[in-house]
Structure 1
Amino acid sequence: MTTAKDLFIIAMDPKHSVGQGDLSLALAGAELIDLIGAEAVAVDGDRVVPGGAPALDDRLLDEAAKNLARETPHERIEDWLWRRGRDLSAAYQAALEEDGELTRARSGRLSFGSERVEPVDTPARRRAADRWSEQEPVLVALASVVGIDGEQSEDEPGLDDEAVTTVVAIVHDAVMELEAVRQRRSIENAAFANLWRGP
């Protein structure tokens, strides 16, 4: 399992309410962090610099690596997040269902997007839960960006890699930008509704 898949599983917990747009951006960031770890990419300032082509044992991560912009000047991290993140949470849901990691919910208590699904008790789900209970810094940081609070204490280690820290910060900014867009649309829609109703 990848950081993105672990994050998706954590986000499905019924205690959390995560928007699919926010999650898609965070999943793209998680992919980028895993690609950094696999030395498939490097970060130069705020740009994604493709590296070698290591064998990746995850089809979504492999797809992400193949979709890297290889021309110079290299793609900005923010642009990668928006481009790769488009409908990415739906892609992860479909992949996890196909792999038998998710099943259609029998109870009505867990809703994720328009589909009701729940994680199956598999080694992958347990691994995600273990990473979460151990408060693995990258997973906690990405979850925090989408509003899922971990229980990390102040004396626990944070992110110790500059490239990873940069990616998480840019994911945070992108999620904030998406929220600003939502609020602006909500205000515009309310104003239009008031205008339509008239005095």
Structure 2
Amino acid sequence: MTTPRDLLIVAMDRESGRSLERGDLSLVLAGAELIDLLGSEAARLEGDRIVPGYRPAIPDRLLDQAASSLAQEAPYESVDDWLWRRGHGLAAAYLAAFEDEGQLTREHRRWRPFRSDRTVLTDTPARRQATDRWTAHESVLTALATAAGLDGTQNGDEPDVTDEAVITVLAAVHDAVRELEAERQRRALEKAAFDNVWRGPDGI
């Protein structure tokens, strides 16, 4: 399994009935992919630029796609640019992969006829592995989950990440998620202002 797959499993298991922002999750998944590529030496960082490295055989299809999409020529791609480019629609891509692999199933709720079926994770070795990694409070997974909107910290302690390249990626992920949230708020304010103008002074 890979860090993005483990992250998605944790996100689906720990959602606790509230909906995570799909855009936030996509950005964090892109960050998780980059961290795995750094760990496998398929990439390295020079400052905030992603430089392709050793190209290993990667059995995971989506992570292999990520490695193949690395910019091959200077000035290369910044971590921030990678998150926005690679992250576009990435959560949906991983969910589709899970469904193709039989890792998702539809939970039928016969006692709620007016609600659609809910997609849930099946009990697989991959799910158990991700759960083990989560319950062990693995620092990188915890930090990524927190960025996605899940409370992964214990007793308020920050995850203990020491690798400088990973710290750079995590900082960029947090910045991108905050930027996306600011954009959502801006659009919501613009929509509210437009609605007020449309209703007019009499509230019609």
Q: State the alpha-carbon separation in 1 of the partners of residues 182 and 153 from structure 2.
A: 27
In the alignment, is residue 17 of structure 1 matched against residue 19 of structure 2?
Answer: yes
Q: 1:73 to 1:151 in 2, by over 3 A?
A: closer
Corresponding residue to 1:135 among 134, 137, 141: 137
Do 2:140 and 2:159's aligned partners in 1 also have CA atoms closer than 8 Å? no
- Decide whether aligned partners of structure 1 residues 152 and 66 sit closer, same or farther in structure 2, where only a CA change above 3 A counts: same
- Mapped to 1, the partners of 2:180 and 2:158 lie a distance apart of 30
Deviation of the 1:154 alpha carbon? 6.6
| Superposition CA RMSD, Å | 1.8
Q: Give the drift of 1:53.
A: 0.8
Report the Cα distance in structure 2 between the residues aligned to 1:117 and 1:125, rounded to whole angstroms.
Answer: 15
Alignment-derived partner of residue 111 in structure 1: none
Q: TM-score when scaled to structure 2? A: 0.90
* Structure 2 unpaired stretches of 5+: 111-115
User: In structure 2, what is the Cα distance between the partners aligned to 1:18 and 1:170?
Assistant: 19
Could you tell me which runs of 5 or more consecutive residues in structure 1 were left unpaired when the two chains were aligned: 109-113
Distance, in Å, in 1 between the alignment partners of 2:129 and 2:178 is: 29
Question: How many Å apart are 1:116 and its aligned residue?
Answer: 3.0
Q: Which moved more, 1:96-105 or 1:79-88?
A: 96-105
Q: Percent identity?
A: 61
Q: Deviations over 1:69-114 (max 9, x none)?
A: 1121010100000000000000000001111111122249xxxxx9
- Between the aligned partners of 1:133 and 1:127, the Cα distance in structure 2 is 10
Give 1:169 shift: 0.6
Please say which structure displays the higher CA radius of gyration.
Answer: 2
Whether the 8 Å contact between 2:23 and 2:89 is mirrored in structure 1 is yes
The change in CA–CA distance for 1:107 and 1:166 in structure 2 (over 3 A counts) is farther
Question: 1:125 maps to which residue?
Answer: 127
Question: Which stretch of the first structure deviates more once superposed, 97-106 or 124-133?
Answer: 97-106
TM-score by length of 1: 0.92
Structure 1 residue 5 corresponds to structure 2 residue 19: no
Selected match of 1:78 from 72, 77, 80 = 80
Q: Report what 1:44 is aligned to.
A: 46
The count of corresponding residues between Structure 1 and Structure 2 is 194
Deviations 1:29-57 (A, max 9, x none): 00000000110000111111111211111
Structure 1's 193 and 155: CA in aligned 2 closer, same or farther, altered over 3 A?
A: closer
For the residues of structure 2 that align with 1:184 and 1:156, how far apart are their CA atoms?
29
Q: Letter of the aligned partner of 1:60 in structure 2? A: L
Q: Is the 8 A contact 2:24 2:177 kept in 1?
A: yes
> What is the match of residue 163 of structure 1?
165
Alpha-carbon separation, structure 2, partners of 1:93 and 1:168: 23
